[in-house]
Amino acid sequence: MPPGASDPEWGAVPAGSEASIAVHWPEEARLPPPVGLAATANVRDDGLRTRFRERGFPECFRECADLLTWMHPYAATFDDANPPFYRWFVGGSLNASANCLDRHLDLRGDRPAIWFVPEREAAAPIALTYRTLHARVNALAALLRESAGVRAGDRVTIHLPMTPELPITMLACARLGAVHSVVFGGFSGEACGRRIADSGSRVLITMDGYDRAGRRLDHRPNADTAIAVAAQAGRTVDHLLIWERDPGTYASAAPLRPGRDLLLNDVLPAFEGRAIAPVAMPSEAPLFLMYTSGTTGRPKGAQHGTGGYLAWAAATSRWVLDLRPEEVYWCLADIGWITGHSYIVYGPLSLGATTVLYEGVPAHPDPGRPWRIAERLGVRVFQTSPTAIRQLRQLGPDAPTASGHRFRVIATVGEPIEPATWRWYHDVVGKGEAAVVDTWWQTETGGILTSTLPAIDPMKPGSTGPPLPGIDPVILDDDGKEVPKGSGRAGHLVLRSPWPGLMQTVWGDPDRFVTTYFARFHRETENPTWRDWPYVAGDGAVLAEDGYLRILGRLDDVINVAGHRLGTKEIESACLSLPEVAEAAVVPVPDELRGKRPVVYVSLRRPSADPRATGERVTRAVETAIGRFARPKAVHIVPDMPKTRSGKIMRRVLAAISNGSDPGDVTTLSNPAVVEEIRRIVAAAGSEGS
Ligand code: WTA
């Protein structure tokens, strides 16, 4: 039974938050790690954990920096002169693209860096060797510098689908020291435009179209919307650079604007063979921005630094995913989210592994597709989200059995995975022999923070695992008191010490960085150090006796839909963009496939003659402002919102109605009678839909 918010063990979890609708599954028994890994894994014994303990904070993290090639060595591991703004590997300089490409050329230049798998199955996978990738990145870097004037420190917005052009563009920016801001391809033009304006990009890079679920999508018009939205916000895009999905055939109906637009595939041949020396960047120079949803309607640009981020992405890829040079690894995620940045591009390439890039949707044309790809390419390590696993299981429960693939490690990321889904992943996808790692982390953390280590830690279905070496989590109640492990009580998941992958700041808004992540449990002292600034993840979690964490979900106004973070305030402001909508409120509901989905409540300025059409307009408004992936599960048109006497909308009451739980005492509302009315509307919609 899902616990109500009134359960005492749910103490610090606010009613109506995502964490409050978490299903409370019982603690599972632990399974031993696969025997086969013990002799071969990157981390085979407790040596790593011991070294981290013995060296202590912060020097332990030198082990991560040692995985990289530095152009100039760093003088200090860590600097907290101005907490919570930290500097890692201070005085050192490096280039991320050189770490992902140049340093591999001698040893494995002719091995594939990327296997690109087009969605159309008739099209064969394409290998890009390290040498080819290096050449393509150099040519594009030359073009960016000479035709678009891109320099170190400039921001470049990238709105591309899952094709090799995406990592090529990211690495070309990194080579020049420019800061890339990749916007997930599924975001609408409007959403992209807001991110261009916030980051101050003068250059936008897009593609004409791409294949998704068997259809060729025309992507280019999104760029026109994005540029118009950015212009309204005062930011002019000087250069729109357009890749062609099929080089030489511009497939969009949208016309080109001379002077601004450039077809990359037309002009790149002139830059072929060019060598652009990778720019030596200070370790703490920003490498990229990744916009993420928070508690306000305005997305925030998580700024990640070069040395710290790359060191953590490489180290965690080695420890948790057990990646090895020249081995084939596939992360079925989108590079447009942080998972793809760290574990399709930067982690695997910095280690010299082969990373698979799949263009389309997982179950296209059928749910056996991923396992056929894995078998064909010899994928040994695989990673995806619980939503993808649920989908593949539902559509093809026996499909993995038909394939000859044999995985060593299979990872999951992005949402809680329930034990039944975990078991299918382990037994059927992993064929009972692969280690499952349930990795918890966030856009802000740069890389994995909690997970079992595949060869040495027992696995526990439904729990992420213990912290990684160097990570120091604690559960705090609302008053900042530690919730002891094994107590079964939920609280705020907080990290007491920093690590190299932690974001540097919110782009252009350092105050927001401090208030969002550090203010809550901060301690005032005369000589502040990192110890006074614990990082608040925004997730509710429970810590078991054995030190394993169970993540319940977000405690703030964020809903995690299929592993994609959506801000309820962003969805609400999309609804409020319609003139007929007076008020809007968004709450999470559980969804069998996608974990959670948003449900929208709106009240109108005037009663609607056609409520169904109004509901559709609301849905379209959300798709236009954010993207199709944000589509609400339901839109309810209500006569009024439940409100406190001071006029505040009581989202917790709406959440209770949507989730069929007890809204608690509503007599103190200014309009208690509306609760019953809303309940009737929701019940009627439910019976209509079923
Ligand atoms: C959730 C994705 C349970 C969590 C890497 C977090 C998880 C948010 C897990 C970050 C997991 C991520 N188990 N929940 N293994 N991994 N989450 O920024 O709520 O897109 O705060 O980063 O996803 O989502 P983001």
Give the model confidence (pLDDT) of 467-503 as tens digits: 999 999 999 999 999 999 999 999 999 999 999 999 9
Residue 19 CA to ligand 1 center (angstroms) comes to 12
Range list of β-strands (E), 49-202: 76-82, 85-90, 93-94, 112-117, 126-129, 155-159, 179-182
What is the domain-level CATH number for residue 187?
A: 3.40.50.980
103 residue type, one letter: R
Residue 385 alpha carbon to ligand 1 centre in Å: 10
Ligand 1 atom index nearest CA of 444: 18
For residue 297, is pLDDT > 90?
A: no
Place of tokens 């020249």: 326
386 domain residue, yes or no: no
543 and 652 housed in the same domain? no
The residues with which 243 forms a beta bridge, in sequence order, are 207
204 located within any domain: yes
Q: What is the position in ligand 1's atom list of the atom closest to the CA of 417?
A: 13
Cβ neighbours for 544, distance < 8 A, ≥ 6 positions apart: 27, 460, 463, 485, 486, 550
Q: Same structural domain for residues 521 and 583?
A: no
410-422 as b/e, with b when 16 or more CB fall inside 10 Å?
A: bbbbbbbbbeebb
Give the pLDDT score at 593: 95
Q: How far is CA 407 from the centre of its chain?
A: 24
Question: Does residue 90 belong to any structural domain of this protein?
Answer: no
Smallest CA separation from ligand 1 atom 19, residue: 553
587 and 662 together in one domain: yes
pLDDT of residue 11: 75
How far apart are the C-alpha atoms of 495 and 442, rounded to whole Å?
12
- Give the pLDDT confidence of 572-589 residue by residue, as tens digits: 999 999 999 999 999 999
In the Cβ-directed half-sphere of 582, how many Cα atoms lie within 13 Å? 12
Q: Is the pLDDT of residue 333 over 80?
A: yes
Question: Residues of the chain with pLDDT > 90: what percent?
Answer: 94
Instruction: Report d(CA 547, CA 246) in Å as an integer.
Output: 51
Ligand 1 pocket mutation pick from 187, 551, 568, 596 by most atoms within 8 angstroms of CB: 551
678-686's contacts with Cβ under 8 Å and 24+ in sequence apart are 678/601, 678/636, 678/638, 678/642, 678/654, 681/636, 681/637, 681/638, 682/636, 682/657, 682/658, 685/634, 685/636
HSE-up of 501 (CA within 13 Å, CB side)? Answer: 27
pLDDT confidence of residue 689: 55
Residues 171 and 101: beta-carbon distance below 8 Å: yes
Give the range of the structural domain holding residue 218, as residue numbers without chain letter.
Answer: 97-271
CB 565 within 8 A of CB 293: yes
Whether residue 540 is contained in a domain is answered as: yes
pLDDT tens digits along 74-118: 999 999 999 999 999 999 999 999 999 999 999 999 999 999 999
Q: Is residue 57 part of a domain?
A: no
Q: What is the C-alpha separation between 310 and 283, in angstroms, rounded?
A: 10
The reply to whether 112 and 211 lie within a common domain is yes
pLDDT at 9 over 80: no
Rounded CA separation 474/118 (Å)? 43
Residue whose CB lies within 8 A of the most ligand 1 atoms, among 304, 339, 421, 560, for a mutation test:
560
Q: Which pLDDT score is estimated for 690? A: 46
User: CA-to-CA distance for 482 and 478, rounded, in angstroms?
Assistant: 10
Q: What is the Å distance from ligand 1's center to 53 Cα?
A: 27
Please state the pTM of the whole predicted model: 0.97
Atom of ligand 1 nearest to the CA of 551: 3
Q: What is the pLDDT of residue 5?
A: 39
Last residue of a domain, one of 271, 306, 329: 271
* Same domain? 570 vs 505: no
pLDDT classification of 2: cutoffs 50, 70, 90? very low
- Rg for the chain, CA atoms, rounded: 25
Tell which one of 334, 471, 565 to mutate to probe ligand 1, the residue whose CB is within 8 A of the most ligand atoms.
Answer: 565
Q: Which of 222, 246, 271 is the last residue of a domain?
A: 271
For residue 299, report the distance from its CA to the centre of ligand 1, in Å: 17
Measure 169 CA to ligand 1 centroid, in angstroms.
Answer: 26
How would you label 649-685 residue by residue, b for 16+ Cβ within 10 Å and e otherwise? bbbbbbbbbbbebebeebeebebeebbeebbebbeeb
Query: Is 261 contained in some domain?
Result: yes
| Same-domain status, 528 and 616 | no
Ligand 1 centroid, distance to 597 Cα (angstroms): 15
Beta bridge partners of 440: 450
135 located within any domain = yes
Among 4, 13, 30, smallest CA distance to 551 is for: 13
Under 8 Å CB-to-CB from 71, ≥6 apart: which residues? 93, 94, 95, 98, 280
Instruction: Tell how far the Cα of 442 is from the centroid of ligand 1, in angstroms.
Output: 5
Q: Name the residue of 292, 440, 445, 557 whose CB sits within 8 Å of the most ligand 1 atoms, as the mutation to test its pocket.
A: 440
Closest CA to 186 of 615, 654, 652, 561: 561
Residue 477 shares a structural domain with residue 598: no
Centre of ligand 1 to C-alpha 444, Å, is 10
pLDDT in the model for residue 24: 79
Cα separation, 587 vs 567, in Å, equals 10
Measured by CA distance, the residue closest to atom 8 of ligand 1 is 442
State whether 107 and 237 are in the same domain: yes
Task: Tell me: do 262 and 139 sit in the same domain.
Answer: yes
Distance from the first to the final alpha carbon of the chain: 22
Tokens of 415: 């949402």
Instruction: Give the chain's domain count.
Output: 3
Residue 146, in any domain of the structure:
yes
Ligand 1 atom 23, closest CA: 414
The candidate with the shortest Cα–Cα distance to 556, out of 536, 534, 538, is 538
Residues comprising the chain, all counted: 690
Residue nearest (by alpha carbon) to ligand 1 atom 6? 442
Residue 82 Cα to chain centre, angstroms:
28
Q: How far is residue 29 CA from its own chain's centroid?
A: 29
Same structural domain, 102 and 242: yes
Question: Which residue in the block uniquely carries the two structure tokens 């329930």?
Answer: 418
Q: What is the CATH number of the domain that holds 590?
A: 3.30.300.30
Helix (H, G, I), strand (E, B) or coil at 400: helix
d(CA 416, CA 440): 9
Which tens digit of pLDDT belongs to each residue from 134-160? 999 999 999 999 999 999 999 999 999
Taking CB atoms and a 6 Å cutoff, what residues make up the pocket around ligand 1? 292, 337-339, 413-416, 438-443, 464, 537-539, 551, 553-554, 560, 565
Q: How far is the CA of 537 from the centre of ligand 1 (A)?
A: 10
Listing DSSP states for 224-273 in one string gives: HHHHHHHHHTT----EEEEE-SSTT----SSPP-TTTEEEHHHHGGGGTT
Which of 235, 254, 271 is the last residue in one of the domains? 271
Residues 109 and 252 in one domain: yes
pLDDT of residue 295: 79
Atom index in ligand 1 nearest the CA of residue 538 equals 21
CA 543 to centroid of ligand 1, rounded, Å: 16
Query: Using CB atoms within 10 A of its CB, is residue 245 exposed (0-12), middle (13-18) or buried (19+)?
Result: buried
Q: Which amino acid is at 317?
A: S
Instruction: Render pLDDT for 610-662 as a digit per residue (tens, 0 to 9).
Output: 999 999 999 999 999 999 999 999 999 999 999 999 999 999 999 999 999 98
**All residues at 6 or more sequence positions from 372 whose CB lies less than 8 Å from its CB, including other chains:** 403
Beta strands in 118-186 (DSSP E): 126-129, 155-159, 179-182
Structure confidence at residue 664 (pLDDT): 87
Cα 224 to ligand 1 centre (Å): 32
Question: 219 with 206: CB under 8 angstroms?
Answer: yes
Same domain for 515 and 583?
Answer: no
User: The tokens of 413 are what?
Assistant: 């990321």
Q: Which atom of ligand 1 is nearest to the CA of 438?
A: 15
Mean pLDDT of 366-374: 98
Tokens for 160, please give them: 């591309």
